Structure 1
Amino acid sequence: MNSAAWHARIHCGQEVGAGFLVTPRRVLTCAHVVRRSDQDPVTVVFPHARELGELSASVVAHGGWAGGPTDPGDLAVLELEREVPLVPARFAPPDSAYTEPYPKLVAYGFPVGYDEGTLAEYRAVSGQLIAGEWLELVSWQGHGQPIEAGFSGAAATLPDGRVVGMITAASDAPNVLKGRMLPLDVLARYWPELGSLVPTPGHDTDVLRELYALLRRAAGAGRECDPNRMYVDAVGAFGPPLPAGGFSTLGAAAAYVQWEVPDPAAVDRFAGRLRELVDPGPPAPRAAPRATAAATAWAPVVVEIDHSGAGPDQVTVEVSAYRDGQRRPVGTRRLPRTGVRAYVQRRIDEAVAHLDPDAEELVTFVLPREWLNEAVAHWECGADDSTPLGCAYPLVVTDRARHRSGRLRRRLHKKWQQLDAGLPIEVHRVECGSQERPPSLRKRLWDGDAGLAGFAVPPAAAREHFEVGLNVPVPVLVWSRTGCPAAVHGEQPGAGCGHEDPRPAWSEHGQRRAGRPHTAVLAEAPSPCPGTAFLDQLTAAVAGVPPAELPRHVLSLRMTADAADEPDRHWARDLQLLWDDPRCFPEPAASLHSPVD
């Protein structure tokens, strides 16, 4: 201990405490010792190096301590006015304080009457943390110098002088020689840079040093990266889930990977991803563009909705994230239909954090057939973000029965293999008020090897035609959610063009019921059919776009419509995209039941 010149006495206003030098210019102490640093100067003295004199210091990092005796984060990092020529403290592995037999722990503090300092001897009661924050200490011999005011911020050291924690509190009860300390892994939670100084069993010291050097470089360069995605990428598909609330900084995520994730390779992966962020290297030569489904690395967030069986208004909602071919459930709940939107808004935000950072989000709503026309693309991102989901993410819908059909999944898989050539696809149009018999449409889609079917009206207005499109392996269906009003064609509501006719459109023999031909209706129309105009615009908009790129392309169309001077009049305002590539969902969820949250 005689050579431990790194022990420091801290003075701020009326507070006197201890601290310890961790780098030539940084000192750790308790946040409550320097609580008035915004009003009073902070000074530091090293009793074993009096020749350095009194040094001024400033608080450069704070653990978030809120001011109460049991509030977490009672840590402050001080930066001295200059570097000092002293050897900083050395650290022991984090569990050294509570490895059997429990060792003596020595603290160097500055209680009243001991400006030069004095020693207290304690030991840990157990390796069990109090409230996930503190290790409890008891007197080593049951007598001697108690931990009291002036010891806050002192290093708790092993007999060989290596640091295992920091003293933060003492018992208020008389004649009770107890105290508390923050162990090293908890200190690193609040000041991640400590992780590069503390030996961690199972981790390569050089890798840790590189990791924290990269963190400093990323911060200095202003590099932006989602720490939650970095964490998920580092721990892998079967690693510990993202902690509640996630991480606010890259440093916090790195510290958690170092201290809480049992797989040492996770630190290597985190450092590797960070290295790519800081040192991206020269861009690779660009090959000739070849957009294919296989080349588009979609990372789906799936929102699946189904009837719960608990009542006509009750549904079960499950939100999942797909990563490395594995489905990661985020939350499941039974809700009234009116509560679905708010629940989905919260859960999508959580699910995105589980995705591969290199892949692009694809929000997919798997809906009962009667919900397919729901305006999910217009739902806001959240209570504090009015951006429509369809303008924040590539967003598609699919039919729940189709999503779970083994026959259709197999055929769709084969169809996408054909579409991987990246060739543009034709829009197979289903016109407003079409007189085409459903069997004829089915044959047309089969014979034409259809990749995209466009509908001029929503599903309820052409139910039988939509069912054909859903039950034939056409990967992409597009329609206008609003269709066109019947008045445009001089018809009564319910006769087509966006209005559902309660009568079957076809007889049991497959013949069209008597009625005016569609051509005659169009002749009476005072203005062009909006459904036909929609299909014309759609055909022009997707010309030359490979089907794998349609979710991204439709995102652009929705953003353009939302930004228009008159958004409600833009043809793509109510565009609904059913896009179904089963390769994005290799592991469909089981049927929704027993909701938990």
Structure 2
Amino acid sequence: MDDWQWRAWVGRPGGGTLGAAFLVDATRLLTCAHTVHGMDEARVGFPGLGEDLPARVIPCGGWRRAGDHGDVAVLELKEPVPYTPARLAGPEELHAGAIVGREFTACGFPRHSRDDERYARLTTSPHQRMRREWWELKTVPGYRLEEGYSGSAVYDELTGTVVGMVTNADFRDGDRAEFGWMLPVSRIRRYWEELDDLLPLGWLTGPARRELRELLDGVAFTGPLGSALGAVTGRPPVEAPRTAWESVRDVAEGWPEDRLVRYLGALGPHLPADRRPRLAAWSRRHLASAVPAPAGAPERAEPASVIVRLERATFDNAFDVTVHTWIDGAEGPSRRTERVPERRVRAAVEEGVERSLHAVVGRRGEWMIEFAVPEGWLGRPFEEWHVDRRNRIPMRRYPVVVRDVERLRPYSIRHDQAWRRWRLLRERGRSEPRPVDCAAPRKGTAFQDWLEANDDYCVLVYGSRPVRSWLTAALNNGVPVMLWTRTACDAPGHDHCRGNLRDLAGAVADAPPGDLPRIAMALRRKALAAPKDRPHCGRNLTLLWDDPSRLPDPPLGMEV
């Protein structure tokens, strides 16, 4: 983008600049609501291209006074302009890994002269977030913000990508400021939903999304929709959506398509009567999984599971053992919780799993076994336990994963943290593992700080059994996927563990997150055929795979 044609000033009809704006399509610009507060019409100018163009003011976010959320307004031109609109960042471009360490630019228009453009170079990060609304801006040395930057796009000069909009600055020490705040594109879209038509989103097609958004226009997010959303996703939203469209968008961007099908089905009865058949027709056209599969076609469904839940009892060195089943995105038949001493946990689990198999065996889809256990049990060799005790058939014949049982409590901090990273992992669609060499200098809190600073790290691969502090830090930071061999590294060199690390990371590098349990099962099988005197990344392999949507109801009486 060479000409930056989308940068514009905003002023009163009678003259004088008030701030900045940026063009998002041929007739509309975005600016701050406070910049044009109380105005029905404004003037817009594109420096060196077109000046004093009349524009209608459309407030969007409900802003009324300083400090309010939703400081967003749209300026609608009376005639389209031939200038190139701004390129807007998509959701996958707004995570910390894509933002931290980069410098951005903002172009402002000081109020004393509409011809005097000013530029500031800035840094920002989603870590520097205030009230879940704004990201802090900090100017780099030699630059300052001043009045006239409100409504300016915050953009990358190399790519032209706009990541947010300047809303205010800290002028406590004069008329120039080192610090300010912006609304990221992800918040602007919350207040002006038509922006979703212009963003590079990865689900469905642009016309299909627009049609659905228009169909849901004006439908509020109500209590019944909240209940339906919780039933589909397994947990209440961190922040309640404002509208039905926002809730649909959240499901579509954070979950497989079958969840969107379920949610739209639950949403339909809450629409005005004239829109219900339109929604059903839209779903048949655009959602393949909403249409009955032809005879003989494979069913598109997430794998069923037998989920073993182990909770340590307060006294007596005992465990509460519950065996659930998970079928078609919801809890299936479950067995009554049994309290057993630790020495009988394996026998109780094997018996409970065997008695629950009728719910998953014989289905057309795949199924797996999930062990939700306390942190200290994550490294147990569960795949060696028996799925059929009488015939001594090990569980490794099926995908076996472990999970953190604390995350099965839907209101725990660990669950909330895992939810955020899992959603990012789903949006990204591939694992992108982060190798952790057992010789890495991660002493004390350094590993914790490393993970907290990189909230886009979703898959960790260890060269050998991770030390306890690493595992705790990863669970506390919500890392949803980890792989390691259970062999401890006690050799003076690290050739073997680094070989395991390289092979294991390579095996999952580009895999979608849903394929990882099957990949781990395949690696375990290959290890069985490998020479016993040689290391193999599939030998004694543990896969922590913690999809927070697979959240069976807690046993009766269990505190959640």
TM range (shorter): 0.3 to 0.5
Instruction: Return the TM-score normalized by structure 2.
Output: 0.44
Q: TM-score, normalised to structure 1's length? A: 0.41
Structure of greater Rg: 1
